[in-house]
Each structure stands twice: as C-alpha cells, then as structure tokens.
Amino acid sequence: MAADTTAEQATLQALAREYLASLKTAAAREAAQPEILKFVRWAGPDKDLSVMRAHEVAQYAENFPPTVSDAAKRADFVRAFLKWAKDQGVTAENLGIHLRVRKASKSSANAQTIVDPPIYLTQEGHDALVEELEQLKARRPLIQQDLARAMADKDFRENAPLDAMRDHQAMLEGRIREIEAVLRHAVIARTPTGDHRAQIGSTVVVRNLDSGRDLRYTLVSPSEVNPVEGKISFASPVGKALMERAPGDEVEVAAPAGTLRLRVERVEA
C-alpha cells in the first residue's frame, strides 16, 4: 500500500473501495462488489483490517451455508480481496485462506433447487431490515437526480462525480436486493419469555470459569451479528453451545486459544 495512505483510507470500507477500483474491468467490479460490501458490513466499515484475526474471517463462513449452491464462488470474491490486502502489505498474512466454506452434500444441493432454507431473525432485526429497505428505496429518486446532473458533464473521461454516483447506485441496489432476499425467507424467532432456556433473541449472561469474568451475549441470526453490542450468531461456536441452555448449565467451547469453559448464570428475554 502506498506510504501516504491516511488513517481514514486504512478502514475496511476504504480498502474495499480501493480494491474494487483496482479491478481491470467494469464487469469484474460489478461481480465482486456485492460480496465485498457484505463482508465490509459484517466486519464493520471502520474496521482496521490490519488487526483482523484468522478466527474472525473463519466465522464469516457462516454466511455461506452448504445449502447455497454458489457459496464457494461467492466466498472466492472475499478471498481475492483478502489476498490483495496481503499483497498490499495491509495484513501480515493472507486471511483469505481461513475462509473455508462447507461443501454441500448431493442431497442438500438438490434440496436447494426445491426450497431455500429459512433465515431466522429476531423481531428487532426484522423490523430494522424493513425500515432500512424503505429508507434505501426512498433514496432512489435522489440518486437518479444526482446521476442526471453528473451526466450533464459530457467529458466522461474524467467525470469523477459520475463514477462516484454510479458506485453509490450500485451499492444501494445491491443492498436492496440483499435485504429483499433475506425478508423473503425470514422467519421471526419466537420471543423468549421468562428465565428459561436460551433461544434466538435471548440475552445470556455467562461466567468464564477460568478467568472468573462475566460475559453477556445476545443470540441473533448471522445477519444481525454486532460484536460491539455483544450480539453473536446462534450458529457460531459459542452460540451453538449456549442454545437451549438454562442457568447453571456448563459448556465447553473450542477456541483458537484453547477450550473455553462457561457457566450460564442467567437467561434474559
């Protein structure tokens, strides 16, 4: 990466923009952009890629369930971006090698042609997606107006505003398609009630039996993951271990640093 790269440019969002601009053809950019932007949204646009770890990238593989027929191809776009980041000196290793997609069995591949698997969402997550979709669609006329103004400049060779608006439009339309696909197959998880077993939407307070520290996790769907808010996927190693557990239950989770021993202290709706 160039020596004059600023701190702002080093964010994951800025690096993704730089990578997409480096692709040789518009067709290549159009094909890669949706998956690259999904990865950016999942990790966080302001994420410093240089401090990202292998286990975080490995967790992103949950976004490619084996029942999705083109999972490997979609993951390849993210792998190529992460390899580029290594070549540019942003990361010390090629994190892309840790993004391993499970292969679909023949029966699951056939099932995909019949019906798509449900996507479990909390009511909060579903409502947030509906609201975001409405806001994105409301922005379409404004972007069309901006495009028209940018196209008024007939010198297309150096029309940076036009290129920027086209990128903006592509990102917006890609996100609209992504949300619509999720909502088509969304199933609202039953709202947890009482201090019983952990379910999707539950907040689980656990104690690390090795360190004695209390940790707080909210179990959500992979599309709702937000590490800053303590929201973890119910399909992640910790999430799987905690699902259907009740206060007093102890679980063990295999982690890169060793086995994690947790005890459920309480389950909150």
CATH of the domain at 126: 1.10.287.180
Residue that terminates a domain, selected from 85, 115, 145: 115
Angle between helices 123-151 and 160-184 (to 10 degrees): 150
User: Do 39 and 136 belong together in one domain?
Assistant: no
Query: Has residue 71 been placed in a domain?
Result: yes
Number of domains comprising the chain: 3
Q: Which two tokens stand for residue 3?
A: 């020596």
Query: Has residue 152 been placed in a domain?
Result: yes
Instruction: Specify the pLDDT at position 242.
Output: 92
Which CATH number covers residue 60? 1.10.150
Ramachandran class of 93: left when φ > 0, alpha when ψ lies in -120 to 50, beta otherwise: beta
User: Do 155 and 210 belong together in one domain?
Assistant: no
Residue that terminates a domain, selected from 115, 138, 166: 115
At a CB cut-off of 8 Å and minimum separation 6, what does 47 contact?
A: 11, 12, 40
User: Do 33 and 66 belong together in one domain?
Assistant: yes
User: Do 100 and 3 belong together in one domain?
Assistant: yes
User: Do 54 and 99 belong together in one domain?
Assistant: yes
Burial of 59 (0-12, 13-18, 19+ CB in 10 A): buried
| pLDDT tens series, the chain, 269 aa | 444 444 445 688 889 989 998 998 888 888 888 889 888 888 888 888 888 888 888 878 776 665 556 777 888 999 999 999 999 999 888 988 888 876 655 444 444 444 566 788 888 888 989 999 999 999 988 888 887 877 776 555 555 677 777 778 888 888 898 888 888 888 887 665 555 788 888 899 999 998 999 999 999 888 888 888 999 988 889 999 998 899 999 999 987 778 889 999 999 87
Instruction: Specify the pLDDT at position 209.
Output: 93
CB 202 within 8 A of CB 195: no
Which CATH number covers residue 264? 3.10.50.30
CB 232 within 8 A of CB 224: no
Q: Which two tokens stand for residue 141?
A: 């006329």
User: Do 127 and 227 belong together in one domain?
Assistant: no
CA of residue 226 relative to chain centroid, distance: 9
User: Do 167 and 263 belong together in one domain?
Assistant: no
Does residue 224 sit in helix, strand or coil? helix
Query: Has residue 196 been placed in a domain?
Result: no
Question: Domain limits at 83?
Answer: 1-115
Query: Has residue 162 been placed in a domain?
Result: yes
User: Do 184 and 217 belong together in one domain?
Assistant: no
CB 186 within 8 A of CB 200: no
Distance of alpha carbon 181 from alpha carbon 196, whole angstroms:
33
User: Do 109 and 122 belong together in one domain?
Assistant: no
Query: Has residue 193 been placed in a domain?
Result: no
User: Do 248 and 219 belong together in one domain?
Assistant: yes
User: Do 141 and 152 belong together in one domain?
Assistant: yes
User: Do 160 and 247 belong together in one domain?
Assistant: no
